[in-house]
Structure 1
């Protein structure tokens, strides 16, 4: 059967393209060729697996190329929007942007590894994008963090961010008010600010950016020109090292 298929394929490639056009084949020829192909694939399923792997590799390459283009086209909103918190090393040679949701279990799980990377590396500029998508509690937590930043500054924001990442309890006005008091900021002013246009504008712009970037989940990282929809199994360190080497090379 393999010989039959091989002969058919050799004949097809040896003749002009129209000679192998199924429209020019008789029904008997179509049936014979189809049967030969099917029997060969049934006997050699690894051929299908190989084809699928090649297709997946090409698809992933196309997606990565498209993501790079999205980053390039939206770089100002990503890296210099004027409202997102900037930490790590603000003068670092690598910029890492993270879209987060405070009710996202994986965001909480990966956060210690992110903090460790920033501490160990020491040369990464870190930008946090509030992107609440999971629940009403997500939205409240994000609004609280933004309101703290606007009311009390960058240091207070980071403290709020850390507390919200570590929290496993409910998010409501009572718990957020208690957190504000614990952080030493004006709880009444922060809670009142949460539903103002100044805070809503930040959340809205982040959502608009995420829509343009086709970001639908958290955490999503953008490191320089690379977008990571999730966290690679090997972590972020190899990606950072690869990007830094490419920049220096």
Structure 2
């Protein structure tokens, strides 16, 4: 079984991970309002979607445009993307790079670029995807190094939350007070938002 420590140790942009301990079930505050994760959609929205995802997850990549469309069309939803790199070192690399891009003001663009990436995720493929949107990989690497402790803590928190919530893979969602393990199509996502809004 792949462990969080093993993933970080193998990452191309490696960062030292603190030892992890089992966490109690996280609160909605923990899940929805992590100050170190940028908020997409409407930051003041009345419903929050937290999506636990991996940049190499085919379902995450397929349904990312659906999630983005529903959030945009609704106009009153906060979206918090919770990196959970379960597919190995390339996923850790991608998560680190995109989280670091937030310091450059390019989080959403970097995230979209890697979730839209076709083929195998590699450092070279990520660098090319960033280059295609005008994002310099040298600047991203510097931002990773500068923010390595913060990024490491984000990935650790997300991992422990996903384990505590007993999610078994990506994508998995928390919407309102309900857990949704697995991909949601447009209709299911809208229904989940409506349920959370009515609660």
TM range (shorter): 0.7 to 0.9
Structure 2 SS opposite 1:236:
helix
Equivalent residue in structure 2 for 1:160, among 110, 121, 129:
110
TM-score, with normalisation over the residues of structure 1?
0.63
**1-side partners of 2:150 and 2:122: how far apart?**
20
Shift of 1:172: 2.5
Structure 1 SS opposite 2:188:
coil
TM-score, with normalisation over the residues of structure 2?
0.78
Relative to total residues, which structure has the larger helix share, 1 or 2? Answer: 1
101 and 191 in structure 1: CA distance in 2 versus 1, 3 angstrom threshold? same
Q: Structure 1 regions of 5+ residues with no counterpart?
A: 1-68
Q: Which has the higher contact order (CA 8 A, sep 6+)?
A: 2
Output aligned runs, 1:213-224, within 5 Å: 213-224=165-176
Aligned twin of 2:181: 229
Shift of 1:179: 3.0
**2-side partners of 1:163 and 1:182: how far apart?**
8
Instruction: Answer whether contact 1:140 1:171 (CA < 8 A) is retained.
Output: no
Confirm or deny that 1:189 pairs with 2:142: no
Output aligned runs, 1:42-191, within 5 Å: 70=25, 73-150=26-103, 152-153=104-105, 156-191=106-141
**2-side partners of 1:238 and 1:124: how far apart?**
13
Instruction: Answer whether contact 1:177 1:191 (CA < 8 A) is retained.
Output: no
Confirm or deny that 1:241 pairs with 2:191: no
**2-side partners of 1:114 and 1:83: how far apart?**
21
Shift of 1:192: 4.1
Cα displacement string for residues 53-87 of structure 1 (whole angstroms, at most 9, x for unaligned residues): xxxxxxxxxxxxxxxx94xx522220111111201
Structure 2 SS opposite 1:96:
strand
- Alpha-carbon RMSD across the aligned residues, in angstroms, is 2.1
Q: Structure 2 regions of 5+ residues with no counterpart?
A: 1-23
